Structure 1
Amino acid sequence: MSVVTPDAAEELVVLVSPDGEAIGTAPKATVHHAETPLHLAFSVYLLDDAGSLLVTRRALAKATFPGVWTNSACGHPAPGELVEDAVGRRARDELGLDVHGLRLVLPRFSYRAEMDGVVEWELCPVLVGRVSGVAPRPRPDPAEVEAAEWVPWREFAADVLAGRRDVSTWCREQVAELAVLGPEPTDWPTGDAAALPPAMASHSTG
């Protein structure tokens, strides 16, 4: 699978079958509605040098889950784009941050969620990455991010799992799975890249 640079004029998402095989593409601007087709995505959890997690509030104008607090960033790899490259692109464009040390942790995560009649339905592998410094200030794109804050990981996970912090459906489900892997992100084993959806390419070997 070749590496591509997404065309900003029309960002495409990769449509997939339930077993993760690519079956086509669709413009991101039109894919989310009451009958959203299954497509590829990713979620990333960004940590600073103190082990705190960057959590973000989605922009109020977003088509899906506007104004909802969630993990650091989410996005869609373009057709043929390596997932690590897609994460780096999204972190720069959405948050103005450079990411290093990316690791795949939940290669098989998927979910379906609905808010105000709009559905998200994604095969959505989860990665964890680092941002240099302690609580570096992001430079969010206001079209994507309403607010952002750094929170100690253990505090964030405990509050999400106890229902004290309201977050997106996918973030809540991901935190539950990540907590099983270990109490600290450094404990989480690197996932097997071979377990990714077949339509999703990765630099990782496992």
Structure 2
Amino acid sequence: MKTILSLVLFLFLTVINAQETTLTTKSLKLDNLISFVADNFPLQSENNNEDDEVYEEEVTQLNYQVTFLLETTISNFSDEDEIILKQAFKFLSNRLSKEDKLSIVVYSGQNGLLLDNQSPKSLKKILHALSDVKKNIIEEYDDGIEDAYSHANSNFNTESHNILVMVRNPDAKVETSETEEIVETLKANGAKTKDNSIVLLTAISLLPELIEVIKK
């Protein structure tokens, strides 16, 4: 009987451990990113239980290994989107420890690795990466989504909460689609190009009024 109970306990603990060390995927809209951080990354002080040292030890056992997958356009984030992202990562930096690790991958308009396995306390480096996506991509990817999973799995840590957070940006889809259409219009009208990029000017920088004129 004792052997059976021991076996059941072992299997139970194995299942729990497997659940804790699985790459968990979350998907949300950019507008909900700050509230997501609040709901999923509690303050360290909230995990403390002075009356139960065993509980405290179990809670602090696993660190966080988080990969953020951010949807972007062929240009940088808009001012509004950049503000949301920077505020969210500042918030996250306060809630995680220096032992935790963050990576940022972008997809859609641009595909690549923006931040590689850094401490959330390296806030200046994180904010700098977000300030200029085109300039700060470390490694370009063919498929941001697929390669984000590959990157997350390559950094998988059995002693951490492994999470991939996909941040969708509805505005990015619209802007990317409109920009691509404008780029093709500019090309058709003789705009100089180099490596499929507009050298003369970028469509994303055009005033809304001018965009509407070009699209007609």
TM-score, normalised with respect to structure 2: 0.23
- The structure with the larger Rg is 2
Larger relative helix fraction: 2
Larger relative strand fraction: 1
